[in-house]
Structure 1
Amino acid sequence: MNLLAELTVRRALCIIRAPAIPDPVGLAGTLVEAGLPVVEFALTTPEAPRLIEQASSVDGLILGAGTVMSAQDARDAIAAGASFLLTPGLRPDVAAEAAKRDVPLVLGAMTPTEVAAAVDLGSTAVKVFPAARLGPAYFGDLHGPYPDVPLVATGGITTENAADFLAGGALAVTAGSGVVAPALAAESRLSDIAERARGFVAAVAGAG
């Protein structure tokens, strides 16, 4: 799986983080049908590896694990079926494990120094967090010294501002609680999630 190619085409991925996910297969299928097939299950969600394993049966799903903090986290997620990994910050042990297993990795960063460190660690793309606090123009600023580094805007991205971050220089944006609100996931309110996901996809498509 070529994660960078998928992000370049789709320009969006979805983060799932909830206190409980009783129907991971239904949730993943809903996102695929709504046009958000690149999905990460955050390891902060209880029983995340089991959820990843169950969701991996969904056709068309490009499945990853997020909030990967250690090499053991990486091994557990990959064993469960994750095809890519994301971290909230610079995690050299996770980067080493991802490289060893030839799994795409998106390391988290905020400052220019951290972006450079992520690239040096072999990050496929760099997740810039917290994007909403930094603003869309920050992505253009980062592309000054790093014109070829793929940047993923994460944190506070909504249907209303997603296009601004893409126009500002982000390769892709992440849909978080604005699409898969924790309560909606915990209550399996899939129709509500589908409606939000379609709105987010439309906003991304409108960015051109």
Structure 2
Amino acid sequence: MSTPHLDSTAWFDDAFRDAPLMAILRGMGAERSLALARTAWDLGIDLVEIPLQTPADHETLAAVVEAGRERGRQVGAGTVLDAATVRDAAAAGAAFTVSPGLDLEVVRASEEAGLAALPGVATPTEVQRAHTAGLRWLKAFPASLLGTGWFPALAGPFPDVRFVATGGMNARNAADFLDAGVRVVAVGSALEDETELARLAEVIAR
């Protein structure tokens, strides 16, 4: 009996309902990632992403997934480039996958494994291809290079697409991107800075 595809749009609609931020903890090791994940959850950031680029990252993902389970929080796997990494993410207990680019095979493999998929885009052509495939949540990467003007421009032809701005995002520019129409901003190192935490709290409280 085949597993029905998970609806990524509905999943992210629910997951991002309460906060316009997501945390990305790249290459930090298990101990540091666990500490920052807890900081994110305490702040009100529900979703944490652990990019998978080394064997140690897989161990980190499993550890943060377990900590998240105790807090009722969902943890995802990032930098997912192929179906093999989707399988690794699912085995570690991840709830979603994030990719730097648009690969519909990775999206299909994720949803078949019961994981929501958030592929990356940087051009109208990629957004249109994703939209045609039924995807409505997309990662805009690298957002800092695309700039705030990219998002209202894309909202014209794609008003129902929700963007997660990733790449070069921090507590100082998050509000600008949200004001430009971004639905969620993904941050990382800002979680280690007390002054940045206060700004992130202000963003969440908007």
| Deviates further, 30-39 or 134-143 | 30-39
Aligned to 2:175, which of 131, 143, 163? 163
Does 1:22 find its partner at 2:21? no
- 1:61-76 correspondence to structure 2 within 5 Å: 61-76=73-88
* Alignment size in residue pairs: 194
Tell me which residue corresponds to 2:6.
Answer: none
Could you tell me how far 1:23 is from its partner in structure 2?
4.7
On the 8 A contact 1:30/1:194 being kept in 2, the answer is no
Amino acid at match of 2:79: T
Measure the CA separation in 1 of the matches of 2:96 and 2:47. Answer: 10
Could you tell me how far 1:111 is from its partner in structure 2?
0.4
The structure showing larger relative contact order (alpha-carbon pairs under 8 Å, at least 6 residues apart) is 1
Could you tell me how far 1:42 is from its partner in structure 2?
0.4
Could you tell me how far 1:10 is from its partner in structure 2?
0.8
Amino acid at match of 1:12: L
Identity fraction in percent:
36
CA deviations on 1:35-86 (whole Å, 9 max, x unpaired) are 2231000002542222121112221322001000000100110110100110
CA RMSD of aligned residues (A): 2.1
Q: Which runs of 5+ in 2 are unaligned?
A: 1-9
Measure the CA separation in 2 of the matches of 1:115 and 1:123. Answer: 9
Tell me which residue corresponds to 1:7.
Answer: 16
Does 1:31 find its partner at 2:40? yes
Measure the CA separation in 2 of the matches of 1:24 and 1:156. Answer: 19
Measure the CA separation in 2 of the matches of 1:197 and 1:64. Answer: 23
Tell me which residue corresponds to 2:106.
Answer: 94
Measure the CA separation in 1 of the matches of 2:131 and 2:101. Answer: 12
CA deviations on 1:149-191 (whole Å, 9 max, x unpaired) are 1111111111111011111011101002333xxxxxxxxxxxx
Tell me which residue corresponds to 1:202.
Answer: 201
On the 8 A contact 2:77/2:89 being kept in 1, the answer is yes
- 1:182-201 correspondence to structure 2 within 5 Å: 193=192, 195=194, 198-201=197-200
Could you tell me how far 1:105 is from its partner in structure 2?
0.7
Q: Which runs of 5+ in 1 are unaligned?
A: 180-192
Measure the CA separation in 2 of the matches of 1:138 and 1:61. Answer: 31
